[in-house]
Chain A
């Protein structure tokens, strides 16, 4: 018995208990730090005891949704994954999740590790956890003030993937030129997921598109189809690099507003139709990532379907919460492409909406709020009859909406989330939906507030 590990795990469990009791919310990183302080190899010591190995999900957007979907599929297949489902995706969060699922000796009571990992943390996670499968959803310019530039991040990820052995597999987004270029030097076999259906494409690249140049030769890429952001069907006219064929593809998609979408998935030798209860094309990609991962782990069609259909919305990602007879539709919107897609979904909801837009600038959101000027808020401006700008940078948000064309008399600046929600609820009619678009920690704030007011269950109470 490893006494150092046992002590660390016990301390971690105690820390988790207190951080929950004290309502520290995102305290999921704190217990992990306690554990690592006592045993700095605790993460790998616990993870190595998982029979089924580890799966890592990384990318700028969609890692929480993808890993939650995949966890649902694994559970439907009789598995019991250890999973950091509240979005605590640094090494400390993964460590805390392992400890929480472990017995007193630090042996995890699960058969596989399924962890979402912060993009910049992937190299450390790979060397500690030696994953059998790495899923990369997309790479957008996000929180540049933390990570530097996208190319630098891509190089770090390449370095991490090069450490994988030939028994490992990597599942990449074919629609994202930067992601599809990753892992060329890796011994791990590469698989791809992507959208084949062209009926929902946009007329041209949006301003917020990031990876518009060929990673190999630097020439501008040609997009024959553009889905959103820099997602599409592309090729390089200069060196001939083009989008890889998708192993797991959406052959047909029908979007149904905030209600979700119908997707026909085609993969070699099989095909299935699914209803996904999550809005927007970006969630179709998350579905494909989870489904591809499930297939690569050997799951069957029934488990995948059960996982998708039994999916309960990930914390703050398209959740509907009743509040005083109104419904708050809470959707995490943390970077330009994510925000543009949320706005695209809202456009299907008509005009005269009541909207809360909450912008925070804490470390986890990115201290730099410049990115709001890359979002096409001009498309949102005609929709609200009343908009509450909230969060630590509420004035910046309000100013963005003014320059996007909103009449300032319909904008309320209210930093405090409680007062923001109250003002929106006063404006909304009985039964009306309040659309809350919130950055990462603003989502946590909003969720914590609604929990305290009794409108939403605490995030740790979720299954």
Chain B
């Protein structure tokens, strides 16, 4: 009999980078594994702790406020950033949201002109803008194996532009996305995803949740696909959010988007 399947998640800076219900992503990964009979271990890794990439299949990092982002930036700068890049090169899965996404790019220049160096896991750079992009967002996902739409909420002043070394997670159907100009949202590099979508992202986008789980587990297990789950409630929530987002008048968006 094959060894029991288990997913080992490393939650990076959970107490600092958790601003927009990011915990929902961990809860979703945990439940969707448990419903399939897989084991799940979630470990936290924070400031000053060494990252040994060996024992983890999936990394998660949420968004944070400015002050927290600076602390994390300093902490990632040394060996930890290198170890994380190495882990992704070796096939680990990773999901980073908003502030986490920004810190994994090459650099982030804040609106006040402060430069936070990134760890260049993504070929992406971010510059702070004057107005925040706030509102519901819908994206046509271009990820192989997780096609279809993504729904969420975005709230960021950073404008991110992708370099040739990575591709976008999808095309914006409604909302702002990476920079509000080129119609792109998020970033994919191997098994690593960066995105501005919270809401939380994974509960209402179960295809993406399963893509991450499968990518992470394939490192150690021979898996073609994951057993199906009853996603009727997830799909209903996805459809409802999609309908609401696509049907929004721009008036709401302007009202909500004032800074």
Chain A residues near B (Cβ < 8 Å): 141, 144-146, 148-151, 207, 212-213, 218, 220, 363, 367-374, 392-396, 398-400, 402-403, 408, 411, 413
CA of A207 to CA of B18, assembled, Å: 9
Nearest to A205 among chain B residues (CB) is B15
Q: For residue B24, which residues in chain A have a CB less than 8 angstroms away from its CB?
A: 370, 372-373, 400, 403
Known: A145-B256, A148-B132, A363-B255. A373 touches B236 (CB 8 A): no
Contact indicator B199/A370 (Cβ below 8 Å): yes
Partner of A370, one of B28, B200, B230: B200
A/B pair count, beta carbons within 8 Å = 97
Q: For residue B198, which residues in chain A have a CB less than 8 angstroms away from its CB?
A: 368, 370
Known: A149-B65, A150-B65, A373-B203. A141 touches B19 (CB 8 A): yes
Nearest to A207 among chain B residues (CB) is B23
CA of A204 to CA of B155, assembled, Å: 30
How far in angstroms is the closest Cβ of chain A from B43? Answer: 16
Q: Give me 25 A-to-B residue pairs in the complex whose CB atoms sit less than 8 angstroms apart, sorted by A's number.
A: A145-B135, A146-B256, A151-B66, A207-B18, A220-B15, A367-B135, A367-B256, A368-B155, A368-B198, A368-B199, A369-B153, A370-B153, A372-B24, A373-B203, A374-B21, A374-B23, A392-B244, A393-B241, A395-B240, A395-B241, A396-B204, A396-B240, A399-B203, A403-B203, A408-B233
CA of A295 to CA of B27, assembled, Å: 46
CA of A121 to CA of B255, assembled, Å: 16
Contact indicator B237/A368 (Cβ below 8 Å): no
Interface digits, B13-31 against A, CB 8 Å rule (1 contact, 0 not)? 0010011111110011001
The answer, yes or no, to whether B215 is at the interface (CB within 8 Å) is: no
Q: For residue B153, which residues in chain A have a CB less than 8 angstroms away from its CB?
A: 145, 367-370
The answer, yes or no, to whether B75 is at the interface (CB within 8 Å) is: no
Contact indicator B237/A218 (Cβ below 8 Å): no
How far in angstroms is the closest Cβ of chain B from A374? Answer: 5
Contact indicator B199/A212 (Cβ below 8 Å): no
Partner of A403, one of B28, B65, B256: B28
Partner of A396, one of B23, B65, B134, B237: B237
How far in angstroms is the closest Cβ of chain B from A326? Answer: 27
Contact indicator B233/A213 (Cβ below 8 Å): no
The answer, yes or no, to whether B136 is at the interface (CB within 8 Å) is: yes
How far in angstroms is the closest Cβ of chain B from A186? Answer: 23
CA of A60 to CA of B132, assembled, Å: 22
CA of A204 to CA of B19, assembled, Å: 19
| Residues of chain B from 220 to 259 with CB closer than 8 A to chain A in the complex | 230, 233-234, 236-237, 240-241, 244, 252, 255-256, 259
Q: For residue A371, which residues in chain B have a CB less than 8 angstroms away from its CB?
A: 20-21
Count the B residues whose beta carbon is within 8 Å of the partner chain — how many?
38
Q: For residue B199, which residues in chain A have a CB less than 8 angstroms away from its CB?
A: 368-370
How far in angstroms is the closest Cβ of chain A from B168? Answer: 22
Give the one of B19, B31, B66, B233 with max A CB within 10 A. Answer: B233
Return the 8 tightest CB-CB contacts between A and B, nearest first.
A373-B24, A370-B21, A373-B21, A395-B237, A370-B20, A149-B65, A368-B153, A395-B240
Q: For residue A146, which residues in chain B have a CB less than 8 angstroms away from its CB?
A: 256
Nearest to B248 among chain A residues (CB) is A367
CA of A145 to CA of B80, assembled, Å: 32
Contact indicator B233/A151 (Cβ below 8 Å): no
How far in angstroms is the closest Cβ of chain A from B228? Answer: 16
Contact indicator A368/B20 (Cβ below 8 Å): yes
| Residues of chain B from 121 to 153 with CB closer than 8 A to chain A in the complex | 132, 134-136, 153
The answer, yes or no, to whether B166 is at the interface (CB within 8 Å) is: no
How far in angstroms is the closest Cβ of chain B from A428? Answer: 23
Nearest to B65 among chain A residues (CB) is A149
Q: For residue A220, which residues in chain B have a CB less than 8 angstroms away from its CB?
A: 15
Give the one of A144, A220, A367 with max B CB within 10 A. Answer: A367
Contact indicator A413/B236 (Cβ below 8 Å): yes
Please name 15 further chain A to chain B contacts, defined as beta carbons within 8 Å, in addition to the given A363-B255, A363-B256, A395-B233, sorted by A numbering.
A144-B20, A145-B134, A145-B155, A148-B259, A367-B134, A368-B153, A368-B198, A370-B199, A373-B21, A373-B200, A393-B240, A395-B236, A396-B241, A399-B204, A408-B233
Nearest to B27 among chain A residues (CB) is A403
CA of A218 to CA of B255, assembled, Å: 33
Interface digits, B31-55 against A, CB 8 Å rule (1 contact, 0 not)? 1000000000000000000000000
Q: For residue B23, which residues in chain A have a CB less than 8 angstroms away from its CB?
A: 207, 373-374
Q: For residue A394, which residues in chain B have a CB less than 8 angstroms away from its CB?
A: 240
How far in angstroms is the closest Cβ of chain A from B25? Answer: 8
CA of A400 to CA of B65, assembled, Å: 24
CA of A370 to CA of B31, assembled, Å: 18
Q: For residue A149, which residues in chain B have a CB less than 8 angstroms away from its CB?
A: 19, 65-66
Q: For residue B230, which residues in chain A have a CB less than 8 angstroms away from its CB?
A: 408
The answer, yes or no, to whether B5 is at the interface (CB within 8 Å) is: no
Nearest to A397 among chain B residues (CB) is B237
CA of A368 to CA of B155, assembled, Å: 9
Q: For residue A400, which residues in chain B have a CB less than 8 angstroms away from its CB?
A: 24, 203
Contact indicator A373/B27 (Cβ below 8 Å): yes
Contact indicator A213/B67 (Cβ below 8 Å): yes
CA of A415 to CA of B61, assembled, Å: 33
CA of A258 to CA of B22, assembled, Å: 31
CA of A377 to CA of B143, assembled, Å: 32
CA of A150 to CA of B237, assembled, Å: 29
Contact indicator B67/A151 (Cβ below 8 Å): yes
Known: A213-B67, A396-B237. A403 touches B155 (CB 8 A): no
CA of A234 to CA of B236, assembled, Å: 44
| Residues of chain B from 187 to 215 with CB closer than 8 A to chain A in the complex | 198-200, 203-204
Contact indicator A399/B21 (Cβ below 8 Å): no
CA of A403 to CA of B23, assembled, Å: 12
